[in-house]
Structure 1
Amino acid sequence: MSGHGDGHGHGHSHDCGGHGHNGTEDVPDSERIAQYSLYAKIDLERVQCLNEVVDGSGKTVFKPWDQRLQKEEFVESDADEELLFNIPFTGVVKLKGVIIIGGQDDSHPSRMKLFKNKPNMSFDDVGMDAEQEFELFPDPQGMLEYSTKVARFNNVEHLSIYFPANFGNDSTLVYYIGLRGDFMEARRHEVTICAYETRANIADHKTNIMDGVGHIVK
């Protein structure tokens, strides 16, 4: 996969995890808001962000696309420049694109690795092969989309995002992570079981029902 090296700023339109990034300037805001609505399908109570300075601050970067420029809430890395997000969804997702708005003054993430369906990842796990890696570029307006290889991101129930480095700052800042894709509700198996039990109960009481009818006729 491309995007493994440390060099930045050369030929970047051809070196973002094999797909490149797409500008969003020509897409109407209303359409972009609808496309980047997967934040509402994240199980926020179970989101984990490792190495965050303020506990729970990692959850705040998942918000509507039209609020992406708000700077009041953000996540900052603590001990070093690494950040690792574990993101469970409330159903099944086909992930198509990611937007990242990071900090200025070289605190913007410079690389990103995406992992599929590996809940509770820790920094001990980030050396494994990712589904896709990207070289990132400063994007203060949130106008660059990093397109995924969609065939690798079908049936995503849990997404892990790892930022291993930034552009030279001691800590990494992230204001916004936007996720674009399709969502499908989780299947519920208990409905079938309940229907079977209902039919069984009716059969069990069939004799009693007939007795009651006979009594009324008399």
Structure 2
Amino acid sequence: MSCHHEHNHGHHHGDNHDEADHILPIPTNASQSLRNQIDFQKLTALNIEQQNSDIYKIFDKYDDSKYQIKDFISSDTDEQIILNIPFLDSSVKLFSIILKTSGGDQCPQTIKLFKNKNNIDFDNAEDMKADFTLNHPQVGFEGDSNVQEQDINDDNFVEHFLPRHVFTNTTQLTFFIRDVYDEDEDQSKIYYIELRGEFKKLTKDPVITMYEAAANPADHKNTTASLERNQHSIQ
């Protein structure tokens, strides 16, 4: 494991999760796809080889294009990645996350998820309590992405179901890839991320309330007295 990166490592490996834990996702219902709710302009990551402007490529796939492996994000100086996924003026309830990662030594093992946190970095990600932790199985693409153009194998996708009551009212989701399966490997790799759930638009329109003026008995009394004076004057 390379330790050239400036953050500290305190890895604690849990039980290994292999293909026995692999949940093959069913096709996504269009109404549950959150792709259009992601703010692609504000996607950011720490410790990746690619530019932040290229992160959207692992989300912006559909139909057969999800099998393409030419687009991915990979860690830079060691295996850890922090990925921030903001949503577009929406309050999201997450149902599940579908991943396609490296299936070999570069396969992420522990992925901590944080909800609505804007301050996650490598100084606090290890110690901060996650809202949920994914134990990702060692499943994914094991070929050479520099040679192959696509990997048409549905078995390389893994769906992780989330506790919906935890990930309600989500405006940002943060991934912290903590470790990979090979302790001597200093890189992790992700080819595809898909988020499923439901959303509602956040409105910034002001709430205008109309109030009906209540009758003032004193006004009625004054009006009556004025009418009586006018009638007396006429007489």
TM-score by length of 1: 0.73
What letter corresponds to residue 124 of structure 1 in structure 2?
Answer: D
Are the structure 2 counterparts of residues 103 and 123 from structure 1 closer, same or farther at C-alpha, using a change threshold of 3 Å?
A: same
Q: For residue 68 of structure 2, what is the aligned residue in structure 1?
A: 70
Q: Per the alignment, in what secondary structure is the counterpart of residue 58 of structure 1?
A: helix
Q: For residue 35 of structure 2, what is the aligned residue in structure 1?
A: 39
Q: Work out whether residues 94 and 155 of structure 1, in 8 Å CA contact, stay in contact via their aligned partners in 2.
A: yes
Q: Per the alignment, in what secondary structure is the counterpart of residue 165 of structure 2?
A: helix
Q: For residue 130 of structure 2, what is the aligned residue in structure 1?
A: 130
C-alpha distance in structure 1 between counterparts of 2:99 and 2:18, whole Å: 19
Q: Per the alignment, in what secondary structure is the counterpart of residue 164 of structure 1?
A: strand
The offset of 1:5, in angstroms, is 3.9
Are the structure 2 counterparts of residues 166 and 35 from structure 1 closer, same or farther at C-alpha, using a change threshold of 3 Å?
A: farther
The offset of 1:144, in angstroms, is 2.4
Structure 2 unaligned regions, length at least 5: 1-11, 142-153, 211-235
Structure 1 unaligned regions, length at least 5: 14-20, 197-218
Deviations 1:54-83 (A, max 9, x none): 212333211234232211211110010001
Q: Per the alignment, in what secondary structure is the counterpart of residue 166 of structure 2?
A: helix
TM-score by length of 2: 0.68
Runs of 4+ in structure 1 off by over 6 angstroms are none
> What does residue range 1-218 of structure 1 map to in structure 2 within 5 Å?
5-9=13-17, 13=21, 22-24=23-25, 27=26, 29=27, 32=28, 34=30, 37-56=33-52, 57-66=54-63, 67-90=65-88, 91-126=90-125, 127-137=127-137, 138-140=139-141, 141=154, 142-168=156-182, 169-190=185-206, 192=207
Higher relative helix content: 1
Task: Indicate the RMSD between aligned Cα atoms, in angstroms.
Answer: 2.3
Are the structure 2 counterparts of residues 112 and 65 from structure 1 closer, same or farther at C-alpha, using a change threshold of 3 Å?
A: farther
Q: Per the alignment, in what secondary structure is the counterpart of residue 53 of structure 1?
A: coil
C-alpha distance in structure 1 between counterparts of 2:140 and 2:31, whole Å: 19
C-alpha distance in structure 2 between counterparts of 1:99 and 1:5, whole Å: 22
C-alpha distance in structure 2 between counterparts of 1:10 and 1:79, whole Å: 26
The offset of 1:35, in angstroms, is 5.6
Range moving further from structure 2, 158-167 or 64-73: 64-73
How many residues are matched?
179
Mark the structure with the bigger radius of gyration: 2
